[in-house]
Structure 1
Amino acid sequence: MKRSKTPPAACEEQVRQRVRQHAALFREGDDPVAFWESLCLELADCETAECPPPETRQARMQTLFMSLRTPVLLLNADFEVEVMNPAAVALVEGDRMDAWAEGTHVPVPLAELAPWLAAPLEDHRQESSEAEACRMGVAVSQKHGERHYNVSVSRTSDFSDRHDGFAVVLDDITERVEGERQLAEERNRVAHYLDVVGSMVFALDAAGRVTMVNRTACRVLGYEERALLDRDWVDALVPDEQRDEVRDCLYMIFSGQLEDEDERFHYVTTREGEHRLVQWQGKLLTNEGGLPVGLLLSGTDVTERRAIEEALAEKELWLRNTFVALGEAVLILTPDMKILDANPAAETMFGMTNEELDGLPVGDLHVNPAHYDDFLARARSAFEAGERAVFELPLKRRSGVIFPADHSVSIIDGDDGTTLGVVNVIRDISDRKHAEAELRRSEEKFRRIFESIEEGYMVTDLEGTIMMVNPATCRILQYEAGELVGRSIDSLYRIAEERGGFRKTLEAEGTIRSRQMNALRKDGTTIVIEANAHLVRNHRGEPVAMEGTFRDITRRIEAEKVLREREKQYRAFFENNHAIMLLTDPKTEGIIDANPAASDFYGYPVEVMRTMSMSQINGLSRDEMFEEMRRSMDEGRTYFVVKHLLAGGEVRDVEVYSGPIMVQGVQRLYSVIHDVTQRIRLEQDMKRLATTDALTGANNRHQFFSQAAHEVARAKRYDNPLSVIMLDIDYFKSINDTYGHHAGDVVLKVFSETARTALRVNDVFGRLGGEEFAALLPQTGLEEGLEVAERLRAAFAALSVRVDEAVISFTVSLGVTQVRASDRDMEEVLNRADEALYRAKRMGRNRVVKG
């Protein structure tokens, strides 16, 4: 079947229409040769189908070639121009446009027509072993300014039967280059601005992908720019646990449910995996129609600032808690000496609430204006000398009661040297005055304890920058506090390996105990320290700082060597000493060791004693032991007097001299024991002789008055009743005269024994002289005292004393009185009882009379 042929005029019109349609598809940046080649192939297919005559095809191609606004040059193998379309002729400013277009022009070397094009093409041909298709950019200076072309070179064999030439197509890209230049300048200007700002800046598209990031963000987060571009911002930087929250926040900003300029805080993750707290602020980007197209985020890394703020808040809380918990009154004063704050101890001390103290002039708490002037003068004098004022000055409570007080007054200076206020620490010393000596001993003891503390204390941030030190740290390392704060702790390590190991262990375990290391002092000397440290964590459990204590153990290490030698000497001294010696565990009271002298004294082998406890040889109960310890402290003794049990059951009185001793690094109690049984018995006999009447066994006059004074004072102190009885044997002189003094002595003994038997154990009975006796009845009123006296009288009257062949009976007169609050001393009480006694004598004897 034959194909129908389209008339020539119609076919030509179809070609023109197809060329126009294809030209409308041309876009800036397209390769003109490839673009028009595709049309030629399409037309070739059409030609095959329609089979137009050759002259028609040539006319079509000629029309196409002439109508192109893109310069096209056809070169032979010698790089001579043979054909140019009108656009190319105009570009090289040539003549005879028709001849160039028809190919009838004499070939001209490209270097003559367009040297600016010939040079780069020649360079390319020399670099290639054989001519190949290529692309390049070329700039041409023309009278209307510089033009830029995208040059495409291809072999003519790619689209024709000719194999020795080249087709050169020049696409004018001047406007695109200029636009790109302006855009690059604008981008560089914006990038430069964003790179010099201290904040991290991200630009996100509507899908949340990163379209721009500045250098600050790359530096802080540790990323290259290309590693962040086109990535989802949340997936790339936000920690897993916060991603949902941040996505919701971005969605609400894009949807207009949240203000885009509100500041927010959340964490981002660096390339190394570190979480950094960032303060973010966003700006929503919209198009001309008001629809969101992106978001500009700026963020500031506040990790360290937040850590410092939290550390300061923690320190402030600690200081506030200390302020509230202090047992001493603390007043914070303004520069004009008005109370700004007071702790609970101050409220209790002055009997006023904090609201009542707030704003009160501190002078109102002083006894009088003169005392207040003295307070100001002392404080001012100390402040001028750069010291803390410490002095004693009385104050008054709200009730008007005046009390003695110790003052410690310090000035609070700001960083610029201005006075911010005054701290007045007050201690009520009312209870101290009557025990000055004991207090001095106590203060001396605690002062020695305090001064013996060698613990240094230090706080650093996570990078090791020192934030806080205590005075002991400065003393140990020989620095001023200002020289250490802000300094890296790494500079204090003597050995770099110790520094790395310490930091690594602390980060892994969170705490370090008793780590020995070498430290550098300011003068360069090395000391050995024992350190303890732990990580300080915030409320989220994240480490924010490091703190620890340390002490200088250089001398201890040296001393341990010496101690080992001394322990050898001690063992020899211990084993060969004739004194009784025991080594015990102060916690368990177990006997660790005993010397041969102890074994001989207690009657146990040394091996057995090492299995025993002190409770097995101590003859005192726990309460008795505590009472002896209290007596020892009150009397200022350095030893205890106790009773020890021997293996045979015998009880011996001993003096125990004890003191702490370190044995192989463990604290023990070292005791030297002296047997004082005989001495104590002699002392007891001597005391009995000095305090009792030799004939009757009753208290002598001196002992009676001594105990009486004590009982009277106690009765007055506790408002307890106390009765006194005076006793006198009736007609005692006649007994002596009738039966002799020996019989009188027997009567006195029987009288004393009968009285002591009838009285209570805590009653005091004594012989005042001759046949005159007295009795004190504690916790006994006058009526009860009269009853006791009557029982005594009846008991005496019923007695019959046999002396040799004689039987002697006697009676007793008694005077009873009660101690009164108005009595100045015991003499007044006894005089009143004595008067009652003599009234009984005058009334006929053998009776009881109240005084």
Structure 2
Amino acid sequence: MSPQDMQDLAAEHEALLQFFYLAPVGLIQISLGGEVELMNPLSAQLLMPLSQDGGLSNLFQVLESVAPELRRMTADFPTSQGTICDGLRAQLTAGIRGKQDPKMLGISLIKVDEKRMMAVLTDLTLAIAQERQLKYNTAWLNAITAGVTDYALMSLDQNGNILEWNPSIGRVLKYKKADIVGKSFSMLYKEDGISPERIIDYLKEADEDGWSLTEGWRLKADGTQFWSSSMIVPIDDVAAEIDGTKVLSENQGLSYALIMRDITNRNREAGTRLMAISSDYLTGIANRRTLFEAAELEFRRWHRHPRPLSFMVIDADFFKKVNDTYGHRVGDLVLCHLATTLKNTMRDIDTVARIGGEEFAVLLPSTGLDGATQLAERFRNNVEAATVNADGVEIKYTISIGISTMEASVSGFDALLDRADKALYEAKHSGRNTVKIWRS
């Protein structure tokens, strides 16, 4: 190679390094084990708040608390090159309502060869509000573009009770008039699928926003489930207008229209994409981002209409010993068992999530400390009594749980999470396999 070629190569290398360090996104070169080999300043700025010890030597370790699936996704990636994940979202904080937006980090991971990977980090905080509005508009579009033959229309009173029956209810939901009129529309949900407070939430949201939109599994009269897009809108309960003054009908109260559409087929088509965005890679339950979004909504509801709201954090006791003794594959089986047991123990209205390596959490709407403690003890007992079978080896494990509850002094979800973490710390340092409640 001639001196000129060497000079040109050095200039190109210098230009590449300059681009690397001045890039408007975080760029990191890492090994397959996550060891950082090269990092630009923006990456350090984004990652430093996540570091437990101030070090940034291993990307997987730094992101373990917010994106625990990265290590497993890398290990499972089948080829020597390609994109392992593109725009994986890790929610860092819940924010404070009206004061501070939630912090969100976007993570893309590309396998360059058998030894190296590139990570791209993006601060997505400013995009959150726009995306939520887009999601809301999409839900509205789903509600109004479904076929005209798959909707059920019913009127509700101010408590959510069904006032009238029409043929669409029989056609879509299979209910007869005597089965449904006068009863709460909660009968269309599975048991524990909705609380009395949540019914009022939907009606109040309709009052404030003009409509309330939700999607989820609902029940027909024969017990079969269907995925519904449900819209509640307030309607004037007016019998007449005299001299410009509206006169209420004999119901003397607010009323609403509930439109339920069967979009089961559309939901199946979008199921894979939805799971990738909202679910934990290993266990299939909600991920950290989904938990934070649910918490933000519950906080808005609490500020409008205070009611019991509790939160629990769960940690598998001595989990590192399980990994060291039996290997990570068996450790993953234990985590999946924990997640399944947790999901089966909690109610449909609870948000069950994995928020770290062996750390899980549950958001408990309409639940005070007594109810949260009962659920936590039931779950702890279920885990203690169970056995995980891995290749003929029977493994038993226990868990520790910390609980906090909402009150006026809690500024946001981050504060509620911090209180539960402190209660968990007390549980782990008082012998483990126990439940502790945060006390001021």
Bigger relative contact order, structure 1 or 2 (CA pairs below 8 A, ≥6 apart): 2
The structure whose Rg is larger is 1
TM-score calculated relative to the size of structure 2: 0.41
TM-score calculated relative to the size of structure 1: 0.22
